[in-house]
Amino acid sequence: MNPEIKRGNYAKEKGEVILREHEYDGIQEFDQKLPNWWLFTFYGAIVWFVVYWGLYYHSNVYQTDQEKIIAQVGALQEKKDAELAATLASLDDETLIGKWSTDPAIVAAGEATYMVNCVACHAADLSATMDVAGNKIPLPGRALNDGVWEHGGKPMDVFKIINEGTPEGSTGLNGAKMQAWGQMLSPKQVAEVTAYLISRNSAEFAN
């Protein structure tokens, strides 16, 4: 049985159907009282939003996404700093030359890292040039096989330049500066790349 339709503004009782007074372009609007379960859910969601908003933004109960990211980045940086300190504690010029650069596994790991990250600027053969139709085209980086080490030619100097990038105040090569690969690679990987470069310049570093 259809409920009786009345004219008015709003339905006030359960089951009451009101045809609202306003009408526009022949369009009319019905109004019925919403079920209590729906109203409780709606008002409960509003209360929950206000409480959660207050806890999230105005208390220390929850961390914002920005705070979580900052905390995670800080933790990663602390871990990398600890790894670097541990690596440097056992690393020196003689160790890089006598042990790391003569270990095939370490050299192979360094070569793999070099081929992924360094060839675009320094070339696979360390010449910093690219052969195009018989012509040598210079790449942005410096040659690593000519015995010229702009910022120090000792193994730990090479490690430092890879890890920290072009020193502050240096103009780089033709204005191009090397990034600090220590921000992307672990200290161990930087040491492996250093060992690989030493192995490719073994005669020079033997002295």
Decide if 67 is inside a domain: no
Does residue 66 belong to any structural domain of this protein?
Answer: no
Q: Phi, psi (5° rounding) for residue 19?
A: -95, 110
Cα-based distances in Å from 39 to 2, 34, 35, 44, 76: 24, 7, 6, 8, 47
In Å, what is the CA distance from 102 to each residue of 18, 36, 42, 84, 154? 91, 79, 71, 22, 16
Measured between alpha carbons, how far is 45 from 23 in angstroms, rounded to an integer? Answer: 32
Residue with tokens 């204005």: 175
Spatial separation of the C-alpha atoms in residues 67 and 154, rounded to whole Å: 41
* Contact by Cβ (8 Å): 69, 58: no
The pLDDT, as a whole number, for residue 162 is: 94
**Is the pLDDT assigned to residue 7 strictly greater than 80?**
no
Structural domain count of the chain: 2
The mean-pLDDT minimum among 1-5, 91-95, 115-119, 193-197 falls in 1-5
Distance, in Å, from the CA atom of 157 to the CA atom of 93, rounded to the nearest integer, reads 9
Whether residues 168 and 118 share a domain: the answer is: yes
User: What pLDDT is attached to residue 1?
Assistant: 46
Q: Which domain, by its residues, includes 22?
A: 5-58
- The model carries a pTM of 0.61
How far from the centroid of its chain's Cα atoms is residue 108's Cα?
26
Name residue 8's beta-bridge partners.
20
Tell me the CATH number at 188: 1.10.760.10
How far is the C-alpha of 198 from the C-alpha of 107, rounded, in Å? 9
Tell me the pLDDT tens digit for each residue of 138-194.
999 999 998 888 888 899 999 999 999 998 888 888 788 899 999 899 888 999 999
- Domain assignment of residue 64, yes or no: no
Same domain, 33 and 89: no
Q: How confident is the model at residue 198 (pLDDT cuts 50, 70, 90)?
A: very high
